[in-house]
Structure 1
Amino acid sequence: MQSLPTPYPADLVPDATAVDAFNATYKQAKRQNAVFIAVENQGRRWTVKADALTAGPDHTVGNEAYDTVRGSVIRLNRAREIHSDSSAGPVYFVLYGVETEPRP
């Protein structure tokens, strides 16, 4: 997996909707000691996942990064832009119910 800028360009985030695609993407992240990031189509909505465990034991999520992601998940939840069962870390993040957006 290549190192991606922040925010990640949407066309570089893998669609792991199919079980085989999810497993392949996860295994590739583990082999390359990279953070796993993918989306899964859930009809008109998406699930967004990130897992830092695939980056290996020496990788840590810094307090500032964790606080930023956690704060974003809380704000998105309060605004009802994601489902309430979404979670923020400390090493695994999942956002359920992200609405589809048109892309240019």
Structure 2
Amino acid sequence: MLTPGMPLQAALIPDCSELEAHRAAYKKAKANDAIFVCIARHGQRWKVQLDAMASRKPLIPDQSMTVLRSAAEALVLGGIAEQINIGADYISMWPIRTEEEARAIAATFHAAMHGLQQLHILV
């Protein structure tokens, strides 16, 4: 059983290719006080999006976001994604070749953001 606000498994990452699906998934994340995560079709490829602002919990500190930025940059260097956009509370990566890759990346970054947020709250 999945607890609201917990990291999502790859198979449960919502496909927000349609605007209404995006709105519904973001609304659900806010209602569950969770970090928003989704994948969306980006032409023939896929995009991964995460947004910590959906959660009312403290934002992830810059030092922690540096770790996530390094991981995202490694995906670009490895040819998995071509572009990344990372802010204090937001991550997006695209284009990613397959839906399966996008789901795996989204789930991994979602778990990492969740863990870093929880660590920040604890400390």
Instruction: Say whether the 8 Å CA contact 2:38–2:49 is kept in structure 1.
Output: yes
1:92 aligns with 2:90: yes
Query: Gaps spanning 5+ residues in structure 2: where?
Result: 102-123
Relative contact order, CA 8 A, sep 6+: which one is greater?
Answer: 2
Q: 2:74 — aligned with what?
A: 75
Residue-pair matches, total = 99
User: How many Å apart are 1:60 and its aligned residue?
Assistant: 2.2
Instruction: Say whether the 8 Å CA contact 2:62–2:88 is kept in structure 1.
Output: no
Q: 1:41 — aligned with what?
A: 41
SS, match of residue 26 in structure 2: helix
- The 2-side partners of 1:20 and 1:71 are apart by 32
Aligned-residue RMSD, C-alpha: 2.3
Identical amino acids, percent of aligned pairs: 26
Length-normalised TM-score, structure 2:
0.68
Query: What are the residue-to-residue correspondences of 1:1-104 with 2, within 5 Å?
Result: 2-5=4-7, 8-56=8-56, 58-63=57-62, 65-84=64-83, 86-100=84-98, 101=100
Query: Gaps spanning 5+ residues in structure 1: where?
Result: none
